[in-house]
Amino acid sequence: MLMIVVSMLLILAVAGLVVTFVAYPHRGQQVPQLPWLGDAMTRAAQRTPTIRSEDDVPAGRR
């Protein structure tokens, strides 16, 4: 029973971070009450590898 409660709390925390990221730093805004959290999320998002769309690739490299 304790393992289920801990797992659910962890899932809710991760879901809360995802919702916060989509609501603020992903759109270029600061998190109102926790600016350090927004800064950390922005730095983490900049470090992760992304797939570039064809519009971002120079014409000579297609």
- Band of residue 62 on the pLDDT scale cut at 50, 70, 90: low
Q: Give the pLDDT of residue 2.
A: 94
pLDDT tens-digit readout, 2-47: 999 999 999 999 999 888 888 887 777 888 888 888 888 888 888 8
Buried b (16+ CB within 10 A) or exposed e, 13-44: eeeeeeebbeebbeeeeebeeeeebbeebbee
What are the sequence ranges of the domains in the chain? 11-38
Calpha distance 32→18 (Å, rounded): 16
Q: Give the pLDDT of residue 59.
A: 62
Q: Give the pLDDT of residue 56.
A: 64
Choose between 56 and 23: higher pLDDT: 23
Q: Give the pLDDT of residue 9.
A: 97
